[in-house]
Amino acid sequence: MEIKEAVEILEVLANGVDPSSGEKIPQDSSYNNPDSIRALFTCINYIKHPPKRKRKTIEEKQAENLNKGLPRNSGMPWTEDLKKELTNTFKSGMLPKELAGRFERTTGAIISELKKMNLITKEEAEKFILSNRPHPRKYL
């Protein structure tokens, strides 16, 4: 069922009509209870006019990242200036793990961006990912 169809059914119910028969709903039905009618119209209004999502500021997103234990800039977009800086620092010999600290992002995000910018191949990315994993402990 599509949302449009569901809303039409809710509107019919809210207006006191049985959607399957088209007959008026009996007065003693729970659908004729004022709270039920208000609830139906509230849901209809919410579906038709959902509240606008408030976009978080950069500062709010960064604070949220830190609260979650993520690097400050996790999930943030890469600006052209940041891409240039990433390119230059990578070409100067800095490894993805070090770049992650510098740019306050995950190592995976750094490797992904380096791949997107064709600074590393898929095979090189895989090597960086493998080298970033913790070594298993050896028990004697």
What 8-state DSSP symbol labels residue 24? B
Residues 127 and 63 in one domain: yes
Distance of CA 92 to the CA centre of its chain: 34
User: pLDDT tens digit string along 8-55?
Assistant: 999 999 999 999 999 999 999 988 899 999 999 999 999 999 998 888
Residues 12 and 30 in one domain: yes
Last residue of a domain, one of 28, 48, 68: 48
Please give the structure tokens belonging to residue 44: 């209809």
User: pLDDT tens digit string along 57-85?
Assistant: 999 999 999 999 999 999 999 999 999 99
- pLDDT for 133: 64
Whether 138 shows a pLDDT value over 50: the answer reads no
Residues 62 and 127 in one domain: yes
Residue 24 lies in a domain: yes
Residues 81 and 107 in one domain: yes
pLDDT class of 104 with cuts at 50, 70, 90 = very high
Residues 89 and 110 in one domain: yes
Residues 127 and 87 in one domain: yes
Residue 33 structural domain: 3-48
The set of residues, in sequence order, having a beta carbon less than 8 Å from that of 105 and lying 6+ positions away, is 71, 73, 74, 76, 99
Residue 137 lies in a domain: no
Residue 18 lies in a domain: yes
Residues 126 and 62 in one domain: yes
Query: Residues 97, 134: contact at Cβ < 8 Å?
Result: no
pLDDT class of 92 with cuts at 50, 70, 90 = very high
- As a whole number of angstroms, the distance between CA 33 and CA 38 comes to 9
The set of residues, in sequence order, having a beta carbon less than 8 Å from that of 45 and lying 6+ positions away, is none
Residues 96 and 119 in one domain: yes
The set of residues, in sequence order, having a beta carbon less than 8 Å from that of 74 and lying 6+ positions away, is 65, 105, 106, 109
Number of domains in the chain: 2
Nearest to 134 by CA among 94, 97, 81: 97
Query: Residues 44, 10: contact at Cβ < 8 Å?
Result: yes
Residues 65 and 89 in one domain: yes
Residues 123 and 84 in one domain: yes
Crossing angle, helix 122-132 and helix 96-103, to 10 degrees?
A: 80
| Most distant CA atoms of the chain, gap in Å | 80
Residues 103 and 84 in one domain: yes
Residues 44 and 68 in one domain: no
Residue 138 lies in a domain: no
